[in-house]
Chain A
Amino acid sequence: MTQFLFNFLALLHITGIIADVIVILCYFVFILLFIIINVMFIVWLERRMSAFFQERLGPNRVGPFGLLQSVVDAVKLLGKEVIRPTATDKWVFLLAPAICFVPALLLYPILPFGKGLVLVNLNIGLLYFVAISSTTTISIIMAGWGSNNKYSLLGGMRTVAQMISYEIPLIFSMIGIIMLVGSLNLVDIVNAQARLWFIHVQPLAFMIFLIASIAELNRAPFDLPEAEQELVAGYHTEYSGMQFAFFYLAEYANLFSLSILGVTLFLGGYQGPFFPSWIWFIGKVYAMIMVYMWIRWTLPRIRMDKMMKLNWKFLIPLSLFNILATGFMIKAWPTIQQWMR
């Protein structure tokens, strides 16, 4: 796709650094549009799905099936006044939403959306993903601290404890796949699943990935950082208008990107028969998102200390065991096959 853009620009006699800048701008616009359209759709889907879970109707007035509801909401948030309480730490408070949103944006170029549909085919794609997505924590502690609000501070502290500890099993669950493929490149990982999805080989890792990613996304039952019933709205209690929208957007953008990662690692990415690869890809990603929603609207919230116990005493040993078992099987499998003959 990159090559196609450069060729097109060359036709217009634009080469060199200007062409590079134009291509990067195109990426940026493409990613932004892609995220915003999808996030709006996911928000609508979440409201609609939760309504069906709860015997309600959900948004159904604006546009067909209420599809334009999110657009209207976004316009409303744009028009709202941005309020900054006087006692806040000005720059920390103002920067936090932007810092929250940027990593969510940075994740998308490396994700393979379809056959040949990857903006930057990075060799260390998975490492890049993990590294960038973990920076979200900083923005949340910034928001919690900068708001100078006790609820926000508690929410921020909970976030740091939760996201940092759950990153460990999340990353450990990917190691088995890296060992199987021998590459950190996401396209390589997808191609390696042409015959068999990794969920069949690594079911345990998939379960760990699912649980840990829910915690990373701060969704129920692990939504402690923004626990409405205890902390009002957690770290974004003091935010309003577009700043709040940034947090909201980032949250759903992260949901989308982690679902993409889950599909890429475990569900064969864009692989699938008959239909074009991008249809398979979108279908799988939305199936994954539906699972997240289903969990969210079914389960109550877990308690902080129990959640930590689940992580340190259960998920991490389990993921270490998974790595061990994978390594053992990789070495032992050829021998076993020989015996079978």
Chain B
Amino acid sequence: MTTDRLITQEFSLNLGPQHPSTHGVYRVILTLDGEKIVHAENVIGYLHRGIEKLAETLTYPQFAPYTDRLDYLAGVLNNIAYTQTIEKHMQIVVPERAQYLRVLFGELSRIASHLVCVSSMALDLNSFTGWMYAFADREKILDLFEMTFGGRLTTNYARIGGVSKDIPDTFMSAIRSFLDSFYGRLKDFNDLVSFNQIFIDRTKGVGIISADQAIDYGLTGANLRASGVHFDLRKKSPYGLYDRFDFDIPVLQTGDCYDRYYIRILEIIQSLRIIEQVLQSIPEGTLMGDVPRVIKPLAGETFHQIEGAKGLLGFHLVSDGSKSPYRLHIHAPSFVNIGIIPEIAKGMLIQDFIALLASLDFVLGEVDR
């Protein structure tokens, strides 16, 4: 019997919203032929809280804590993006020390977010131990957060015009001991997961996204750089203090799941370089700039974006001169990144699809907003 005479029947499978490896309440309707995906359709919105609408009813400082709830794995970066948007609009000068602290905690939360990505990828390919290793390190970063400003995930650190808290006296020794142990542990993690032959077999050549495809679908962040596009806002158009630090932008060429995974490890190393430089050169000074008591930006529009942990995180602010925004649009990188899934998923096996989901590293808090 030849294979083309063998009649098979397609069936649809609802992956999620409650599924171990959809990283939240993401749901995808798969049409399967055996274990091969014929068609995939994203279904999102299970975590939709209407944050953009809420912004229109709140004052500017009141909205800052809501930004933690976007990409809850890198809360500080969201705070920074939001506050910088308003500072840009109102031309507020942020003190030097506050800027340094923003870079420090921004990079720490970038590492924390990337650690979640690489470890979840390990977990999705069933390397449970690798997951535990990276999460233990992330835990130490969250301890540093807690030590400084109390929150772990819901950070609310950056204020309009500065930051909320200074680092405590014990912070320097704590971060030193974390950094000293972290390099060795990253090597352990690499040996256990990144250079494991089974892991490489599962991810190399799987879910390839070409550079043109990535740009066409608006992929940003590490996902874009893994496809060979050298594009990082921290270098291309530095915001904050990023032009003062010496670091590289890792770029990988293939754009498969392994590259998207491994580029995050490389970015962690670069973030560590930035942190080392911050720790050496952080100046003394005040934490808050000259900010009016009531924040009432002039009427007008501002668009500001930063290199978030998942990609370009942009805030489009339309102000009418009142105490609350007329319109605040949040350009969430994860929301755009998952738009490519139906295209790439065609013809994949379920197992590869899981690797693809993990490698795209989306966070549902940011997708649904």
Interface residues of A (CB under 8 A from B): 50, 53-56, 150-151, 154, 220-221, 223, 227-232, 297-306
Contacts and interface: CB of A to CB of B under 8 A. Distances in A.
Contacts of B202: 300-303
Given A50-B128, A228-B20, A304 B192 contact: no
Contacts of B129: 50, 53-54, 297-298
10 contacts: A55-B132, A228-B126, A229-B354, A232-B19, A298-B127, A298-B129, A300-B198, A302-B198, A303-B351, A304-B351
B208 to A, nearest CB: 16
B205 to A, nearest CB: 11
Contacts of A228: 20-21, 126
A325 B348 CA distance: 41
Given A55-B136, A230-B354, A301 B126 contact: yes
B201 A303 contact: yes
A307 to B, nearest CB: 10
B352 interface: yes
Contacts, number: 75
Contacts of B349: 303-305
B67 to A, nearest CB: 31
Contacts of B198: 221, 299-302
A230 B32 CA distance: 13
Contact of B196 (A50, A53, A229, A299): A299
Which 9 interchain pairs have the tightest Cβ spacing? Answer: A54-B132, A301-B126, A300-B127, A300-B125, A229-B21, A229-B124, A300-B199, A300-B198, A54-B129
A303 B352 contact: yes
B54 interface: no
B350 interface: yes
B35 A154 contact: yes
Contacts of B196: 299-300
B350 A230 contact: yes
A229 B128 contact: no
Contacts of A151: 13
B123 to A, nearest CB: 7
A100 B196 CA distance: 34
Contacts of A54: 128-129, 132-133
Nearest to B200: A300
B257 to A, nearest CB: 12
Nearest to B14: A150
B175 to A, nearest CB: 20
A316 B132 CA distance: 36
A297 B354 contact: no
B132 A230 contact: no
A229 B352 contact: no
